[in-house]
Amino acid sequence: MRFKRISSRNLPRGLRSSGGIFDPAGKQKRIQEIDELSAAPDFWSDQRRAKALLQERSQLTGDLEKLAQVKAMLQDIKDTIELAGMEGDEELGSEIDAELAKLEDEVQRMEFARMMSGRHDRAGAILTIHAGAGGTESQDWAQMLMRMYLRYCERRGYNTQVVDIQPGDEAGIKSATITISGDYAYGYLKAESGVHRLVRISPFDSNKRRHTSFASVFVYPDVQEDVDIEVRDEDLRIDTYRSSGAGGQHVNKTSSAVRITHIPTGIVVQCQNERSQHQNKAVAMRVLMAKLYDLEMRKKAEEKEKMEATKMDIQFGSQIRSYVLYPYQMVKDLRTGYESPRPDEVLDGDIHEFIKAYLLQAGTDTLQRRQPAAS
């Protein structure tokens, strides 16, 4: 037989013990605690806390289901090995090795997900894109980035909604806001915050000259109900206007689009893609709360200087990733050094390896900071 032997030494690391790195016993205990809390008569007196607990329970249940699926895969492989040994069927060897490889890949994905232990890493995300200086060139680049993220989310099985989009003057977009729902959406996409640089032969230049364009991306956790921030009515300026569109029968003839300005911070959010003014206002408030929460967390962590550094001018020297289409083909992340010679695939949403490289580096840096200094 050519297939691997199943033993405690070559089992995926997270499955070598009854608990393993995924701690099913601890998760089950927490589920029981939440069940006891939810049985209390006053459970729904604090709706925000109740929803947060039920969401936590759903996530824990999902974790246990995934772990059960992995263990079932492992048992199937063991049974197949036993059957192959009894029948002397060596042709099953390569098939079993392939199944073991799939099992190991799945466990590695689960292990990687454990690295994202931030308070809101498992939450949905709100992603904004802004074109940099450069007019049509940068606006077209901003639209290319929007498509890239929508395709990435589609590959990951995330649900997306473009809640606001400002068309460019001639082509592309000036800005866009996208809400993204799915497990670990924020945990993964937070790696994309920063300035993205494109180098190409401009399709808008009749002389076919090379142009460099910039666009910025910022990602916030979609914390929704888990926000303890007071927003007073007098701190808000709410404006309504007609939604922009392509014309024809779909032109919005009423002022249903909503723009909300938070006067103390100057944060402006807007939504125009819902059917009613009420729905647009609700989505805009959701985006505003996410941005206010992000700002508050940065203040509490005393990272104001760092925040200002990440929100540099959208220009040379401030980018986190370069996408070069001419004179050669290359996408390179300037934080990790990870690169790909296939920019077409990257721009079609194949960015997960870039995200993984960044998160792995960030995780390593965090561990090193936590270790005591050598004496």
Q: How far apart, in whole angstroms, are the C-alpha atoms of residue 111 and residue 94?
A: 26
Q: How far apart, in whole angstroms, are the C-alpha atoms of residue 15 and residue 111?
A: 11
Which H/E stretch holds residue 310?
helix 304-310
Q: Model confidence over 98-141: pLDDT tens digits?
A: 888 888 878 777 777 667 767 788 889 999 999 998 889 999 99
Return the exposure string of 238-261: e unless at least 16 CB atoms fall within 10 Å of the residue's CB, then b: eeeeebeeeeeeeeeeeebbbbbb
Q: Model confidence over 356-370: pLDDT tens digits?
A: 999 888 765 554 555
Q: What is the pTM of this model?
A: 0.68
pLDDT of residue 193: 94
Q: How confident is the model at residue 147 (pLDDT cuts 50, 70, 90)?
A: very high
CATH of domain 124-225+306-368: 3.30.70.1660
Residue 351 predicted with pLDDT over 70: yes
What is the domain class of 13-115 according to CATH? Answer: mainly alpha
Q: How confident is the model at residue 264 (pLDDT cuts 50, 70, 90)?
A: very high
DSSP 26: H
In the block, which residue shows the tokens 């601890």? 26
The architecture CATH gives domain 233-300: 2-Layer Sandwich (3.30)
pLDDT of residue 253: 54
Task: Choose among 141, 75, 100, 76: nearest CA to 12.
Answer: 100
- Which of 54-68, 276-290, 303-317 is the least confident region? 303-317
Q: How far apart, in whole angstroms, are the C-alpha atoms of residue 192 and residue 320?
A: 8
Q: 112 — alpha (psi -120 to 50), left (phi > 0) or beta?
A: alpha
DSSP 260-301: EEETTTTEEEEE--SSSHHHHHHHHHHHHHHHHHHHHHHHHT
Three-class DSSP category at 372:
coil
pLDDT of residue 120: 83
Q: How far apart, in whole angstroms, are the C-alpha atoms of residue 245 and residue 218?
A: 25
Q: Model confidence over 191-227: pLDDT tens digits?
A: 999 999 999 999 988 888 899 999 999 999 987 655 5
Q: Model confidence over 282-308: pLDDT tens digits?
A: 999 999 988 988 888 777 665 434 444
Q: Where are the domains of the chain?
A: 13-115, 124-225+306-368, 233-300
Q: How confident is the model at residue 255 (pLDDT cuts 50, 70, 90)?
A: confident
pLDDT of residue 67: 87
Partners of residue 197 on adjacent β-strands: 214, 322
CA distances from 181 to 113, 149, 202, 302, 330 (A): 16, 13, 34, 29, 30
